[in-house]
Chains A and B, each alone.
Chain A
Amino acid sequence: MTDSAEIAKQIASLIGGDRVRAPRGIETRAAAVIATPASSAEIAEIVRKCEADRIPVAAIGAARTMAEIRRTPVAIGISLERMARVVAYEPHDMTIVAQPGISVADLNAAMEQSGQRLPVDPQNPQATTAGALIAAHHAGPLRLSEGTARDLLIGIQYVGHGGRLIRSGGRVVKNVAGYDLMKLMNGSFGTLGIITEAAFKVRPIPDDYTLALASWPDVTSAFAAARAFSDAAPFAHLEVTSPQVSATLGLAPAFSLLAGFSGTRAEVDYFRATAARCAAGPVQFLDGADAMIRYCALRDFDYRTASLAAQVVVPPDELARVLGSCGAEFRAHGASGIAQIMTHDALSADTARATLLRWRERARGARGHVRVLHAEQETRAALAFFDSPNGGALELMRALKAAFDPANIFNPGCFVGGI
């Protein structure tokens, strides 16, 4: 195994000394050396070198996810800070092509004047790169009405094994030519290659945004209301929060429903009336800047203050029951069957493992699964961050990894089944 200084020297000799630096802040948990290539050709050089010498390499985005999922820092972390440009924006076609290092916030800033946006709202869009949005499949409250990167990605380029630049999809909103490698890269956590460019379809920014707030003393009532809302009208988001999370957001410490909606005057009137009817209790409405401030707090809710946080994914109608049985604090995408659950209890490695196992059993009992989002340094090594797919699926996933990464260099050892 070559040491970090030697690796840094070798990468510098490949793509230039100004393209290599030491990791900073949270990056130190993600990677031993940071390379900052400025083109896919430079990334290809790095990949070929890594394959030849069997050096693990991974794109790290803002390093928040990588710092969690990696037991040990990857030898070379690729920061795409020099590849953060909008490549092409066609407002009339409602498509945008960008390099992966651009933040979701900057991507949206480039479209704001045209009244358009990429309607995926991860926690802290300023710190989430477009590449991470795809690779780690980040999403937020708007997934209910707008979908996720999986639905909006229309084209991708990445550097795969052998340093080959691979393209799938294109720049048009509807396209079924060839195999869909976009879906594979989406949520692959950097294990199949390094994304170098992405094309998205975008949507108009809605006219207005109003937030309806209501609360209940029990989880069942809150989710029953969320379902009634969902059946009655197409809300932009239907988020349910547990008492402690509600309090963090400045709400009463109860099970809260935060229902967002947008539209014309007539639509907003309808949503308001529907919310009042379906809540069967008092509803507070916020609009304008007040609504936006509360929405941003909801979107940016930081589960990293917990000692253990995980994402539970179950069929939508099972979520209330599963969350109730886990007994943990949560923020839930109400009608999507997805929640971030967490505990703030002090945990040892053993109790962290036992807590996670309990959550997993509950989710699996409902045909779902659990992925760890955050754990403390002391407990991290004891936890399997990714849940296991069934045997047949895992076998195919291993075969896919072997075919797309024969030298096993792309972010090895931390994905499902040890991939």
Chain B
Amino acid sequence: MLPDGRRLHMQDGPIDVIVEASGAVSDIEVAYRAAAVRFVGVLDELCGELAFLRRPACEDRCLPAGAIARRMLAAVRPYASRIFITPMAAVAGAVAEEILEAMTSAARLSRAYVNDGGDIALHLAPGEKFVVGMVERPDRASLFGTTAIQSGDPIRGIATSGWRGRSFSLGIADAVTVLADTAALADAAATVVANAVDLPGHPRVGRVRACDLSPDSDLGERLVTQSVGELAPDDIRDALEAGIRVAESLRGSGLIRAAALNLQGETRVIGAVGWAQRADVSAPARGLVHA
């Protein structure tokens, strides 16, 4: 629990979660305790099935044991027949959902969110809303828009993916932010759309085999983006178009509600209304990268 009585920060291994709930003080306390209780063991639970979760999702009946792992698998299954994807693409969103559910089933909250490294699960009681700001690039503080999510909207999950983020990306998008019905769905979709924003074979895109950077990456020998040089306007447009096509098809099948795609200062938005101006966003991920 935090000194200001507002936010809870929990961290275990690579999982870093910030929680905030609104409601009666007693309810908030109950919710935070429920979040903390659920958080303990999340990492062990996931790691127990890590080998399975790093394999490509398939349509067979094989189900993982853990509740979070099931959320992960369910979120990526819609893509399994068409592209390579592993349940790990939805891990952050699934963890956020699970923690949020522990909170909302323990206490009456007007609003709550669980932010797991930028993948966010939302709770909204009737009549409530969230204003969400989006960052153009994870390494810069500027926002390129805000949007309001009302309790009447089906959206309860937000996720962002891009090659500059903490996870590897196959594409070149600086950031793809997705609004979807659940955080795990948003997480998986953001990954898929960000991968689709791409210029295959472009000389200005530096790619390295994922296994050369991180031997146990679920992406194996797939080439992940490590650098993107300055692109010509036509290239930017082509890459964004490729992403938009995928995003539109996901929106058509109800997997996402809205998406904002950003590449080198150019932004394309689908499905969202009222992208307004500035709002506060949470602090960036931290890490040690060595020259």
A binds B: no
